[in-house]
Amino acid sequence: KYVVVIPTFVRSYEFTGEAIEPDVSTSGARGSSWSVAYETEDSTNYGLYWLTLTLPDSDNYVWGTNYLESFYEGSEVKDCAVGENAVKLFYTITKTTYTATVVTSNFTYGDIKTPTLEINLEGDALKEVAAATPTYYYQIKDSGGDWIEFEGQTLDAGVYQWYVYVPSTENFSYGNF
């Protein structure tokens, strides 16, 4: 039997909100070919997913299982042979990052302004991040030019800055803005 080398393909994708199916070749050397079956119909969200490559002609071809990869973020998860004519391979969708801008305006003594957060996402992705409760932090510049964090807001005159922490969600990494 001819030993077929398992095709390489991109194993890690960043979350986009769209279903992801890796582009895996379906033919190899010496006339070998195989089918690709995705275990999950909707591989959209952050996580680990599997696909199976099956050789239809197991009389003449066999997978070279010594080419199986054996890693997934340092865990015990690894590719595996499923009988003589099929191999099960993993791929991942990672959390994505996003950008946001803290928007505020100058204010005068006695007029407290709350900053807003403008996030560069749309649709369901924006809803997911917007549902995470942000924490606002305030800093004042001291006489030495260093930024010192304090709780709440102040009415005192001075130079201030805000930054915002948004916790991680199912598909997005946390952000500091």
Name the nearest CA neighbour of 34 among 64, 67, 61: 61
Instruction: For the chain, give the percent of residues with pLDDT over 70.
Output: 79
How many other C-beta atoms can be found within 10 angstroms of the C-beta atom of residue 91? 20
Quick: pLDDT tens for 81-139: 787 789 988 898 988 877 777 666 666 666 666 677 777 776 677 777 777 777 777 78
* 53 band by pLDDT with thresholds 50, 70 and 90: very high
What's phi and psi for 36, nearest 5 deg?
-120, 125
For residue 109, the model assigns a pLDDT of 60
pTM as predicted: 0.69
Helix, strand, coil percent content, the chain, rounded in steps of 5: 10, 35, 55
Quick: pLDDT tens for 84-94: 789 988 898 98
Rounded alpha-carbon distances, angstroms, from residue 84 to 21, 47, 57:
24, 28, 11
* Dihedral angle sign, alpha carbons of residues 167, 169, 173, 177: negative
* Dihedral angle sign, alpha carbons of residues 102, 105, 109, 110: negative
Amino acid at 74: G
For residue 50, the model assigns a pLDDT of 92
Task: Give the 3-state secondary structure of 65-99.
Answer: HHHCCCCCCCCCCCCEECCCCEEEEEEEEECECCC
Query: What span, in angstroms and rounded, lies between the C-alpha atoms of 74 and 57?
Result: 34
Cβ–Cβ under 8 Å, residues 163 and 137? yes
